[in-house]
């Protein structure tokens, strides 16, 4: 017996063709009927969706319009900005998709991924100390990731990625961003655009966490006349930790810009802690030890030092220096100055790269703020500074209330 011929299935295809013809005829008849309906009712139809179908995309009635290309968030300083809402279905890895019922972004127009954007005018009052500066405000609802959320508010050309990095740098002191962020978390940000390599400065950050059921807050405040400041919570406690002076590799620094394990695009996690500091800032040994080597792999590390600390069972490394004050084989005490910070090797700005690794092969990298032989603390504002700090926070809050 011969096997069945596959062409026997042609009758099924024939039925499908007949069914398809009927569908086409039905669509044509329906189209003809709609055309007759519209021509007959031209000039008097009040059907809302019919108006939108033929509109030119300009706002009318309830303020609906077609979304333009993503634009930079409207500045707070002109006292007028726009707020937008967009609906989208977005999920996160390891969880069921959630629906975004209102992702508010102060002063932005969403990109073409959302078909429409609702725009409303909102008057914003700017406190006198911030007038004349490029200050912006955002109210965001987290979707997918921090970078995705910010880049849905301002364009890549407007600097959404570096702005996300600044925000992530602050949030890292509160929780693990990769593990603890949740879709639907609310975030408010006030930031300033700078004409420097940093591009931005976060002035205030408020993050409402669904996982921890609490709100995290960071406020920028400048101490004295240094020209740079730090971030404090609403009670005046510094957000980032500091290492006790006798063990700190650098005591006078602007800010910590990276921690061990921070993600680097195309590379493994960051291997140390970066302290942003002016060139020539004194660098100190964290523990008693011996100088193992200096200035290896100059192209990447620049001028650098490696110290051995048998008692603690680790080695410490100090990279991108401008000047080295010790020699190979020399013994140093904890707190001795061994170098000056710089901007040598593979670096984009002056800073000290500081590492604590195991003595064996250096495969284990320790976070200095979690290392058992290092004492760290949170700085608190004095009573005098606290009075001025509260005035600064009040100015920030007035901007958020206006937005």
Collapse the DSSP code of 59 into the 3-class scheme (helix H, G, I; strand E, B; otherwise coil) and give the result: coil
HSE, CB side, 13 Å, CA atoms: give it for residue 107: 27
Q: Are 294 and 326 in contact (CB under 8 A)?
A: yes
Residues 287, 366, single domain; the answer is yes
Residues 271, 293, single domain; the answer is yes
Q: Quick check: is 225 in a domain?
A: yes
- In angstroms, the CA 257 to CA 351 distance is 9
- In angstroms, the CA 282 to CA 339 distance is 6
Confidence (pLDDT) at 378: 95
Q: Quick check: is 199 in a domain?
A: yes
Residues 234, 247, single domain; the answer is no
**Angle of CA points 376, 381, 384, to nearest 5°:** 155
Residues 273, 338, single domain; the answer is yes
Q: Quick check: is 23 in a domain?
A: no
Q: How many domains does the chain have?
A: 2
Residues 253, 352, single domain; the answer is yes
- Bridging pattern class, strands 351-358 and 314-324: antiparallel
H/E run at residue 375: none
Q: Quick check: is 152 in a domain?
A: yes
Find the domain containing 228 and state its range: 134-240+391-402
Residues 236, 262, single domain; the answer is no
Residues 224, 257, single domain; the answer is no
Residues 307, 396, single domain; the answer is no
Q: Are 353 and 305 in contact (CB under 8 A)?
A: no
Residues 229, 296, single domain; the answer is no
- Please list the pLDDT of the chain residue by residue as tens digits (403 residues): 433 333 333 233 444 454 556 666 676 777 666 665 555 554 443 333 333 333 333 333 333 222 233 333 334 433 333 333 333 322 333 333 333 333 333 333 333 333 322 222 233 556 777 777 889 999 999 999 999 999 998 888 889 999 999 999 899 999 988 899 999 999 999 999 998 888 899 999 999 999 999 999 999 999 876 667 899 999 999 999 999 999 999 999 988 988 876 554 444 556 789 999 999 999 999 999 999 999 999 999 999 999 999 999 999 999 999 999 999 999 999 999 999 999 999 988 899 999 999 998 767 889 999 999 999 999 999 999 999 999 999 999 999 988 7
Residue 303 to residues 207, 291, 348: CA-CA distances in angstroms?
40, 14, 15
Alpha helices in 106-175 (DSSP H): 146-151, 160-171
Backbone φ, ψ for residue 232 (5° rounding): -130, 150
Neighbour-count burial for 345-371, b at 16+ CB within 10 Å, e otherwise: bebeebbbbbbbbeeeeeeebbebbeb
DSSP 11-32: HHHHHHHHHHHHHHHHHHHHHH
Q: Quick check: is 163 in a domain?
A: yes
**SS (HEC) of 28-46:** HHHHHHHHHHHHHCCCCCC
Q: Quick check: is 166 in a domain?
A: yes
Q: Quick check: is 206 in a domain?
A: yes
Q: At 396, which CATH number?
A: 3.10.450.350
Residues 323, 225, single domain; the answer is no
145: Cβ contacts below 8 Å, ≥ 6 apart? 181
* CB atoms near residue 84 (< 10 Å): 22
Taking alpha carbons only, the member of 80, 82, 83 closest to residue 103 is 83
Residues 324, 217, single domain; the answer is no
Collapse the DSSP code of 403 into the 3-class scheme (helix H, G, I; strand E, B; otherwise coil) and give the result: coil
Confidence (pLDDT) at 97: 30
- In angstroms, the CA 150 to CA 142 distance is 9
Confidence (pLDDT) at 131: 73
The length of the chain in residues reads: 403
Q: Are 321 and 341 in contact (CB under 8 A)?
A: yes
Residues 215, 247, single domain; the answer is no
User: Residue 28, class by beta-carbon neighbours within 10 Å (0-12 exposed, 13-18 middle, 19+ buried)?
Assistant: exposed
Q: Quick check: is 260 in a domain?
A: yes
Query: What pTM was computed for the model?
Result: 0.65
Taking the CA atoms of 336, 340, 344 and 348 in sequence, report the sign of the dihedral they define: positive
Q: At 278, which CATH number?
A: 2.70.70.10
């Amino acid at each position: 017996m011969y096997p069945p011929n596959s062409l026997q299935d042609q009758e099924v295809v024939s039925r499908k063709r007949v069914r398809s013809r009927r569908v086409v005829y039905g669509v044509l008849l329906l189209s003809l009927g709609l055309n007759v309906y519209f021509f007959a009712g031209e000039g008097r139809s009040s059907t809302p969706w019919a108006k939108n179908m033929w509109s030119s995309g300009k706002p009318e009635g309830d303020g609906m319009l077609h979304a333009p290309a993503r634009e930079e968030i409207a500045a707070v300083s002109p006292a007028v900005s726009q707020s937008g809402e967009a609906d989208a279905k977005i999920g996160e890895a390891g969880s069921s998709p959630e629906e975004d019922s209102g992702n508010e972004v102060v002063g932005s127009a969403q990109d073409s991924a959302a078909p429409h954007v609702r725009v409303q005018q909102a008057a914003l009052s700017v406190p006198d100390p911030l007038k004349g500066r490029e200050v912006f405000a955002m109210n965001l609802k987290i979707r997918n990731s921090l970078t995705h959320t910010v880049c849905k508010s301002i364009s890549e050309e407007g600097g959404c990625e570096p702005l996300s990095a600044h925000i992530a740098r602050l949030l890292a002191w509160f929780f693990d961003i990769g593990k603890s962020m949740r879709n639907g978390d609310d975030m408010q940000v006030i930031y300033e655009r700078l004409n420097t390599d940093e591009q931005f400065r976060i002035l205030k950050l408020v993050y409402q966490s669904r996982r921890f059921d609490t709100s995290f807050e960071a406020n920028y405040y400048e101490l004295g006349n240094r020209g740079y400041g730090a971030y404090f919570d609403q009670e005046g406690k510094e957000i980032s930790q500091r290492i006790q002076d006798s063990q700190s590799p650098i005591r006078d620094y602007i800010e910590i810009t990276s921690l061990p394990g921070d993600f680097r695009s195309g590379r493994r996690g960051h291997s140390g802690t970066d302290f942003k500091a002016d060139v020539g800032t004194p660098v100190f040994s964290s523990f008693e030890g011996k100088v193992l080597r200096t200035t290896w792999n100059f192209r990447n590390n620049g001028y650098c030092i490696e110290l051995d600390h048998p008692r603690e069972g680790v080695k410490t490394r100090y990279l991108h220096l401008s000047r080295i004050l010790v020699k190979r084989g020399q013994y140093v005490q904890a707190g001795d100055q061994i170098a000056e910070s710089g901007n040598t090797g593979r670096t984009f700005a002056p800073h000290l790269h500081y590492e604590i690794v195991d003595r064996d092969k250096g495969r284990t990298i320790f976070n200095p703020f979690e290392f058992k032989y290092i004492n760290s603390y949170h700085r608190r504002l004095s009573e005098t500074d606290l009075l001025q700090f509260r005035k600064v926070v009040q100015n920030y809050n007035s901007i958020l209330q206006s937005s």
